[in-house]
Amino acid sequence: MIPVLIGVTILIFAITQLFDPYMRASLYIRDPRQAKNIEGIIRKYGLDQPVYIQYFRWLDQVLHGNLGWSQSIHMPVLDALLTHFPATAELALYAAPLTIIIGTALGKLAAVKKDTAVDHLTRIMAIIGWSLPSFWLGIMLLAIFYGGLGIFSPGRLSTWAENLVLSGKFKVYTGLYTIDAILNLNGAVLLDALSHLVLPVTTLVIINMALLMRIMRSSMLEQLNKTYVIAARARGLKWKTVIDKHATRNALISVVTISGLLTAGMLSGMVITETVFEFKGIGYWAAHAATQLDIPAVLGFALFAGMVFVVANLIVDILYAYIDPRIRLG
């Protein structure tokens, strides 16, 4: 894992090298007055040094939390990441488990009822989900529910709730409004936050469960052909018990990796979904920054995303060991 993490930093650093030192220097300044001393800034950050020295100085800055200045929203990149991350985390908090639960349940159903109408139906659902452009699905859902029915709306909170949160009366503990609402014992805000989560979470679930469904289905089918399943039946266990207790557990092992990757993908920012629903997470910030050519923001975001992915992989490996005794003790 460590070499890959280092590699991630190297890649991002390599992208910064596409710009000349003046451009790169300007990324560290916060207001125009500092621009007069650009030479000083270049020297300060070592931007005129040989490449390998630059890398270490850049890395040093990164490790100290200095990822540059995001001019599109006027705050340091690191602050922007931290401010926007709770929204992304909240979206992932609901979308990831739902995707995993629904995806595995449908995959299992499709495998157990192989070649029946249910199987074909889920297969079509999977293909549709896999092929749907997430931004189009989001827009269609908004058109129907927001435009047409007026039930849901984009953003994280309605205006009144947002005002309440920004005022001192609502204590923000985590930045995840649903959790904070519970902690504040405020049912109205909780409901409002949840209603704003419905559409984006639905979009994410529809699109992501497709892959999970297919993998669970083939994993289940593989298990159902195994000898231990026959042996379990030969012991006199009911078919349902054999499926639930034995086959499903074994099948889920293969699903762990993809579930982990899925969750990692969500936590690293759902650029499209957040943009469509104006859900101000890190993906939204990054997309906005990209159109403004706010390079430190985009690169900081990419660095963060890469890190999250690598860490998620590690967690998946640990989870594997926990679930599969063959790896745990071997």
Partner 1 sequence: MRVEEILSPNEQLRVKDLIVRFYTYEGIVKAVEKAKLNLRRGETLGIVGETGSGKSVTALTILALTPPPGRVEGGSILFRRLNGSIDDILKLSEEQLIRLRGKEISMIFQEPNAALDPLYTVGDQVAEAILSHRLPEMLDKAIESLGEEVKNGNEGFSTRLQLWAYNEMKKNPKALKLRLVKRLPIIGKMISKRLNQVVREEIIELLRLMEIPDPERVVDSYPHELSGGMQQRIVIAIALACSPLLLLADEPTTSLDVTVQAQILDLIRRLKERFGASIIYITHDMGVIAEISDRVAVMYAGNVVEVAPVKELFKNPLHPYTKALLEAIPRPGATFKSIPGTVPNLVNPPPGCRFHPRCPYAMPRCVKEVPELKRISEEHYVACHLYGGEGHGEHSGGD
Partner 2 sequence: MRETPLSIVGLAIVIFFTIIAIAAPVLAPPRPGRDPYMIPRYGYSPIPKPPSPEHPFGLTQGQYDLYYGVIWGTRAAYRIGVLIIAVSALIGIVVGGVAGYYGGIIDEVLMRITDIIFAFPGLILAMALVVAFGPGLDSVTLAMVLVWWPGYARLIRGEFLRIRSEDFVEAAKAIGCSDLRVIVKHILPNAIYPLLIMASLDIGSVVLNVAALSFLGLGAPEGYADWGQLISLSRNWITGKPGDPFAYWYVYTIPGLFLFLFVMGWNLLGDALRDVMDPMIRRR
Q: Which of 40, 65, 97, 133 binds partner 2 (CB under 8 A)?
A: 133
Closest CA to 213 of 319, 109, 117, 95: 109
Q: Say how far apart CA 205 and CA 96 lie, in whole Å.
A: 8
Closest CA to 304 of 271, 256, 260, 258: 271
Tell me the angle at which helices 77-112 and 187-224 cross, rounded to the nearest 10 degrees.
50
Interface segment toward partner 2; rule CB under 8 A; list 166-174, 186-194, 294-302, 320-328:
294-302
Q: Say how far apart CA 173 and CA 141 lie, in whole Å.
A: 31
Q: Which helix (H) or strand (E) holds 75?
A: strand 75-76
Size of the site for partner 2 (CB under 8 A): 49
Which residues neighbour 54 within 8 Å (Cβ) at sequence distance 6 or greater?
A: 13, 17, 46, 47
Q: Which of 47, 141, 189, 232 binds partner 1 (CB under 8 A)?
A: 232
Tell the smallest beta-carbon distance from residue 181 to partner 2 (Å): 27
Q: Does 237 bind partner 1 (CB under 8 A)?
A: yes
Q: Which of 239, 244, 315, 318 binds partner 1 (CB under 8 A)?
A: 239
310 to 329: interface string for partner 1, x by CB under 8 A: -------------xxxx--x
241 to 280: interface string for partner 1, x by CB under 8 A: -----x--xx------------------------------
Q: Does 230 bind partner 1 (CB under 8 A)?
A: yes
Residue 73, phi then psi, degrees to nearest 5: -125, 10
Q: Which of 124, 166, 191, 230 binds partner 2 (CB under 8 A)?
A: 124
SS3 of 69, please? strand
Q: Does 268 bind partner 2 (CB under 8 A)?
A: yes
Tell the smallest beta-carbon distance from residue 124 to partner 1 (Å): 22
Q: Say how far apart CA 161 and CA 67 lie, in whole Å.
A: 32
Between 104 and 153, whose beta carbon lies closer to partner 2?
A: 153
Please say whether the beta carbons of 279 and 87 come within 8 A.
yes
Residues near partner 2 (CB under 8 A): 3-4, 7-8, 10-12, 15, 18-19, 123-124, 127-128, 130-136, 139-140, 142-143, 146-148, 265, 268-269, 271-272, 275-276, 286-287, 290-291, 293, 295, 298-299, 301-302, 305-306, 309-310
